Each structure stands twice: as structure tokens, then as C-alpha cells.
């Protein structure tokens, strides 16, 4: 039997916890940086010129956080990323 691989949600939630997300709000960029340090290939840019510079891609992190907030995952994360009831950016 093979060992199951951690999902992106697992890695992102670990990064969030490691940064103190159980105590305070953490910016997505900080979570992306930490997730990238834990699993570079999963959280790096696809374009080699950016990947080679070591930039983390926050889009897979954002998606994992949104998934973690769903009932399916037990509402393990919450946040809005600068969204208000009226929309983004307020």
C-alpha cells in the first residue's frame, strides 16, 4: 500500500497554522510564501522565468484556502481577502 500524498489544502493549512493562523489573520501572500517553502513545485509559478526567480504563486494557495473554508473540509479556514458584502476592494 502506498502512503497517501498530502493535498494542497493540507499543505496550505499547515502553512497557515505554522504562521499563527489559529491566533490571528494571516495575509495570503505570507501563506503562499510558506507553502512554497514547504512544496516548491506545487506553489511555484508555471512560467519558468518567474519560477526560476523563486516566486510563489498565490493562486493555488487561494484556491486551497477557499476549499478549506467549505463544509466538505469542515470549515477549517475563513477569510475574505479584502472582500466586503458590496464586492472587492473596500
The pLDDT value given to residue 82 = 52
Averaged pLDDT, groups of 10, the chain, 90 residues long: 79 97 95 96 92 93 96 89 48
| Model pTM score | 0.81
Which residue bears the cell 499543505? 11
What is the predicted pLDDT for the residue at 90? 40
Amino acid at each position: 500500500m502506498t502512503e497517501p500524498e498530502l493535498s494542497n489544502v493540507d499543505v496550505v493549512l499547515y502553512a497557515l497554522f505554522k504562521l499563527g493562523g489559529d491566533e490571528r489573520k494571516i495575509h495570503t501572500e505570507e501563506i503562499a510564501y510558506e507553502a512554497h517553502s514547504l512544496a516548491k513545485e506545487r506553489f511555484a509559478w508555471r512560467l519558468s522565468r518567474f519560477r526560476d526567480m523563486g516566486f510563489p504563486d498565490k493562486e493555488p494557495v487561494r484556491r486551497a484556502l477557499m476549499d478549506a473554508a467549505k463544509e466538505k473540509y469542515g470549515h477549517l479556514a475563513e477569510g475574505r481577502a479584502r472582500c466586503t458584502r458590496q464586492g472587492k476592494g473596500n
